[in-house]
Each structure stands twice: as structure tokens, then as C-alpha cells.
Amino acid sequence: MPPVKSKPDSPRLHPRNRNRDRYDVAALVACLPALAAFVKKSKSGDDTVDFTKPEAVKLLNRALILHNYGLETWDFPDKNLCPPVPGRADYVHYIADVLRENHFGTIPEGLQTTCLDVGVGASAIYPIVGIVEYGWSFIGSDVSEESLTSAEAIKAGNLGVLNNLDLRIQPDGKRIFHGMLKPTDRIDAVLCNPPFHSSAEDAIQGTLRKTRNLTGGQRQSPMLNFSGISKELIFEGGEVKFIQTMMRESRSFSKNVFWFSSLVSKQSHLKALYHELKAIKPVEIKTIPMGTGNKSTRIVAWTFLSKEERKEWREQKTATAPKS
């Protein structure tokens, strides 16, 4: 079955994304005064942030979380990846649109909707957005105990918001679902931002390219600490191998999960992934393009549930929803 493709209206952020408009730099600085040290004037005379400095990028994203999502605190070790909040939020909103299709045309909200973030990381960004925006429950899995400790600290600092985040270790770095999911789990959507490098050398070269783009071609040393972030960045075989492993394992949990999904960073990776999907024979495949500025990416999603099974899933979720 060929994948169903749906196109966003424009390369801008999703219409429900709280980060869609221009940054209110003054409001962000008010939330996080440390950001002020990295604010400068653009060529047009507007306040902007110096994106060439990793510390500034992290502070900007921290300010966005505090200002736009109402968290009390959001911090994690500098050696861990700092997620770009606007793009990460887009993924959650597009998944919400997918879930709407089986929910009477409305986005399901509340604790009865459960999502799994594969590789929740030190920042727990997807659970934060999904819980704040839609009140969903989240499972966050990771192979790194350090990352889970950081995510647990974020949860503890925002218990009024993140109570419904269940953090789980994946004990086997070569597995995705096996050994972490429980037979009783019923998950509406799996989200994943997979490791995209196949080796440390590959990751360093990628960082050098990004640094040169940000600094106008000037060579700078990559600011990477692989003792802490190698599991976030690197998987033997890279992104394609990781997602293929995820696809193969998804067959074993075809009745536990409604929609499986993953980000795919490169268009060129799709051919191999579609080939894998053909082998595992899902009932439906979706490819959802996303675009933010000059960068484009896409979500690949698949489900094994038949129309009748989807109806039963919806009825069960509706029956267990809290009464208003």
C-alpha cells in the first residue's frame, strides 16, 4: 500500500504551534534574564538572539518553554542535546491531527490518550508539549539512565504539570520496544526523534557542517561531549537502521499501539523505510511533511489496526474517559 501523503499549507510552523509568531524577545528575557546577555540587534534593528553560541540557543529554548508552556523550571546538562522547541512542538501537533481522524473529527484530549516518546532524552520535550497542549499521558523511554535522571528532575520541578509522565529505562541499547513496553500498555501514538549518526566521526562532521553554516564558513571546534550524548546522537547503522529496527519490533506490538511514528531527517532515507514497511505489512502508512524555515523534515507513521479494530479502540477509549 503506498503511503498517504498530506502537505502542510506552508513551510511555516503548525497553526496551533505556540511558537509560530516572531519571538517576543523582551517577554522571553523577562522569563529568563540570563538570555539578555545574548540579545543583539538584527540588520533591521530588531532584537534577536545570537544563534552561533550554543549557550544562547539553550537559553532561548528554556525561555520559550517557561514563557509559552508555563513550566516552573526546565534545565538539563549542557552535554545533552538542546531540542529546538518550535520544531519539536510541530511533531506533537501533527500527531494530534492524525489522532483526530479516529476521534469523531476532534483531537482527543485528556489522560485516556497515551503517547510513548522513544528516546525521551534529558529534556523530555515531547511529553511537555503533549501534556500541556492536550492533557495526554506520556511514557518516556530511554537507554540512558543519566537522561532519565534529568527528565525525572524536570518532572519533579513541575509536578503540577507533568504528573502523568511515566519514565522507563530501555535496558537493551539495540532494542526499541522489547523489554520496555508492558503487555497491558495501550498506546495511541508513538513518537520518536531517532539517532541520526552511525558513528562518533559522522556526528563530528555533521556538527562541523552545522557550525560552518552558522558562522559563515568559519572553522570552529565542535562543542561535543560524547560521554554524555553519544546515545542521543549515535546508533550503529544510523537513522535508517534505527527506524527499521523500530518497524520490525512494531509487529510484536501491533495491537498495543494505534499509530507508530518517527521523524525522518532526510528524504533519501524514505526508500529504504518504505521497503521495510512493505515487508511488515501495516494496514495504513502516512508520510507527513513538516517545514520550519529553510529546514524540511517529515513524519512517517504506520498502523496495523483494521477499520473494525480502530472502531473498537475508539469505543474503549470513549468508555474509559472521565465524565464531565
Can you give the pTM of this predicted structure?
0.89
Whether the pLDDT of residue 8 is over 70: the answer is no
The number of folded domains in the chain is 1
Least confident of 69-78, 149-158, 194-203, 271-280: 194-203
Please report whether residue 214 resides in a domain.
Answer: yes
Local confidence band at 199 (pLDDT 50, 70, 90 cut-offs): low
- Secondary structure of residue 310 in the 3-state scheme: helix
Least confident of 1-10, 33-42, 120-129, 148-157: 1-10
- For the record, the C-alpha cell of 24 comes out as 517576543
Please report whether residue 250 resides in a domain.
Answer: yes
Local confidence band at 204 (pLDDT 50, 70, 90 cut-offs): low
Please report whether residue 162 resides in a domain.
Answer: yes
Please report whether residue 68 resides in a domain.
Answer: no
Domain enclosing residue 282, as ranges: 4-19+83-320
219's CB contacts (< 8 A; 6+ apart) are 208, 211, 212
Please report whether residue 78 resides in a domain.
Answer: no
Please report whether residue 9 resides in a domain.
Answer: yes
How far is CA 313 from its chain centroid?
Answer: 24
Please report whether residue 225 resides in a domain.
Answer: yes
Please report whether residue 57 resides in a domain.
Answer: no
Local confidence band at 318 (pLDDT 50, 70, 90 cut-offs): confident
- For the record, the C-alpha cell of 286 comes out as 502516512
Closest to 194 (Cα-Cα) out of 155, 240, 141: 240
pLDDT tens digits, one per residue of 244-289: 999 999 999 999 999 999 999 999 999 999 999 999 999 999 999 9
Q: How many CA atoms lie within 13 A of 144 on its CB side?
A: 24
Q: Which CATH number covers residue 116? A: 3.40.50.150
